[in-house]
Amino acid sequence: MNSENAELFDVLRHLDTEQRNPNTMHIDLADADEIVRLINQEDKKVASNVAERSDQIAKAIEIVSSALSIGGRLRYFGAGTSGRLGVLDAAECPPTFGSDPEEVKGIIAGGEKAMFVAQEGAEDSPEYGAADVQKEGISKIDVVCGLAASGRTPYVHGALNEAAKCGAKTIMICCVPASQVSLDVDVDVMIDMPVGPEAIMGSTRMKSGTAQKLVCNMITTGAMIRRGKIYENVMVDLQLTNKKLVERARRIIMLFSEVNYDRASELLQITDGRVKPALLMALSGVDFEKAEKLLASHNGFIRAALKSQAE
């Protein structure tokens, strides 16, 4: 064994994500019902692991929200399952919140083909991570979030190092204790969630994947809420890209106002399918031009716009 292999072997030997789970030692002998029970018992622990990092997640939300409000972007960088989760979270933002696809994007080691077929070795190069940051044109108004269950993925480390050089804010999401993560830079937010050994040793698409998915959801959802994309607890900036979403938009307008189905349809037609100004028109009686001005002057928040009309 050469020195490089010996060093990696030693690191992996001590990582939480590479340990055997004492609760599932006999899962290979279990029937289907027992397999489900054992995996579910481990999955139940994830939410509490995430809850222990509430303060850090909230800080990440504020950083991302502030960046987006001044034209910055959020970029996830990850490999394998972690990379796919970043791409997934980013892809769901435009239809959910009406955001520009360029605002939030996931970058996976090995490129687009790695979404569907594992690209072996792509995660082992910090240079690839740095190069992808450069390709994205990361600057000081952007946020780079590294996703790595083990906390050690060289590709992610390279991306975070390069992002720091560019002056961008940096976030690290991992599923081992921070003490097991050796970064060359001090990230702005460290979200370490020690979920413990997986039900199947080293299969970080399980608890680790679930934990990362929860946190990514919180960060982008929280940032969008802070930018006025939600009214009460309802999405009001969704993009009407299919029939289901068109009907949901009509229902949202009818839910909060006294207009009927036909009037809701008319308002959406006037606003070219934009739910937020259509809803404000229904609630306040203003025309489209006035609704646009009110939303612009209140940073997109419907409650604030309505309050200003009532005063």
Catalytic center residues: 92, 123
Q: Are 107 and 130 in contact (CB under 8 A)?
A: no
Instruction: Provide the residue count of the chain.
Output: 311
Q: Are 76 and 89 in contact (CB under 8 A)?
A: yes
Give the contacts of 130 (CB within 8 A, at least 6 positions apart).
158, 159, 161, 162
Q: Are 120 and 147 in contact (CB under 8 A)?
A: no
Round to whole Å and give the CA distance between 50 and 290.
Answer: 43
Q: CA distances (Å), 84 to each of 77, 208, 233, in order? A: 9, 13, 28
Q: Are 193 and 172 in contact (CB under 8 A)?
A: no
Structure tokens at 266: 């008319």
Task: With CA atoms as reference, report the closest residue to 104 among 129, 67, 78.
Answer: 67
Q: CA distances (Å), 18 to each of 30, 207, 304, in order? A: 22, 13, 50
Enumerate long-range contacts of 41-49, CB under 8 Å, 24 or more apart. 42/196, 42/198, 42/199, 42/206, 42/207, 43/206, 43/207, 43/210, 45/195, 45/196, 45/207, 46/195, 46/207, 46/210, 46/211, 46/214, 47/214, 49/193, 49/194, 49/195, 49/196, 49/211
